[in-house]
Amino acid sequence: MKNAFRAISYPWRLYSGLDALADLAEEVRRLKAKRAFVICGQTVAHRTNLLGRIIDQLGGLYTGAFDRMDKDCTYPAVLAATAAARDAAADLIIATGGGSVIQGARVVVILLAENRTAYDLMTQYPEGKPAYSPRLMAPKLPIINVPTTPTSAMNRAGSALKNDELDHRMEFFDPKTRPAAIFWDSEALLTAPISLARSTATTTYTGSLQNVVAPAMNPLVEGDHIQAYRLASRALPRLIDEPGNADLRIDLCAAAMLQNRAADDGSRGGRQAAWSTSYALATAIHVRYDHVGQGEATSAVTPAVIRHTAAAGGDIAARLAGMLGVWKSGMSVEAAAAAAADALAAFYQSIGMPARLRDLQIPEGDLPILAGDTLMNFNANPGDRPPDYVDRMLATLRACW
């Protein structure tokens, strides 16, 4: 039955627009905090005025900052941020930056609260069994997110850290790390260079396309997916020509937020095969190579993944072709998948994004390593990991090359 579903809402407040940060101190007080601690990266701290604006707004509520959160939020950086927040006796965290900063801040509040090692708290991958995330029961400090890019990380509960000592990312999940408030401040969003905004927006756009063609949506989810795709597909091409238009960046933030809300409102059952594969490959690539962003990794693999795997799902291929304006009556499944892949690749190229893996300037000889990197990715593959999984991913990577 289509309308048999459940929906979940979480308490949060959203402030959006010009000088939205003017409400920051009042929001901190509403949360009964007195020692707000900022987590950000070097660019935000030293190449923009954003940290200074936040300090000015907080006044006596400001207790310090950690300004060295790095790409993909590495485990050493998160440990250092945790120590700094503890030394500052922080009672609230303000994550300021892109997805890496926001995810890293979530793990900071987990490590501050839980009396176990990070290795015990992260998602576990027992041999021959589905992965699982330990329950993290301790109360967590409130988080306020001030994103500088339209990242889907802005109001989620999961996080992943890069750890060079492991053969996979450290993954954490705790609903209590969802933000109490989010600020889409126009000036803050404009601090991200157009290349970074485009990269994040490409991920948001691709996710909205994935969702809008998904089957079996309940009415709440369907509405959010349609509007998310409408916003992303309208704003992303204009973003390139109008880099100073903050409204476009806010529209892209809204698209990312709607995707997240749809997931909470019953969009269950996991990604379709093509999208799960694309996500796993893109994640492996951008985590392994510092010069590759998530958006670039996503655009480099998604068209070929569609061509390589979407034919297995005829309805998805047809809907993709329809959404991208290339459907023709009587098309075979294979023809629909190929037409959709070609159209999506052309779109990526039109906005200056790569559409093949070779465009990322990574060694072709690394493909077997990347295939192995996809094995432990909870969002893409939480269940059993069949013996031929890596071989199948390698074959797909070669198709993407």
Taking only the tens place, the pLDDT of each residue in 257-266 is 999 998 888 7
Per-residue pLDDT at 276: 82
What is the SS3 assignment for 114? coil
Instruction: Pick out the chain residues at pLDDT < 50.
Output: 269-271
Per-residue pLDDT at 103: 97
Specify whether the CB–CB gap between 113 and 139 falls below 8 A: yes
Per-residue pLDDT at 269: 45
Per-residue pLDDT at 308: 79
Per-residue pLDDT at 214: 82
**DSSP E strands, 11-127:** 13-17, 36-39, 62-66, 92-97
Per-residue pLDDT at 273: 54
Q: Where are the domains of the chain?
A: 13-190, 209-269, 272-401
CA distances from 65 to 86, 141, 272, 396 (A): 11, 16, 41, 43
Fold (CATH) for 13-190? Rossmann fold (3.40.50)
Which CATH architecture group holds 272-401?
Up-down Bundle (1.20)
Helix (H) or strand (E) holding 113: helix 99-113
Per-residue pLDDT at 378: 78
Per-residue pLDDT at 309: 72
Distance (Å, rounded) from C-alpha 49 to C-alpha 21?
13
Torsion of CA 90, 160, 365, 385, to 10 degrees: 160
Per-residue pLDDT at 298: 97
By C-alpha distance, which of 305, 316, 310 is closest to 345?
A: 305
Per-residue pLDDT at 217: 72
Per-residue pLDDT at 270: 46
Per-residue pLDDT at 119: 97
Per-residue pLDDT at 128: 80
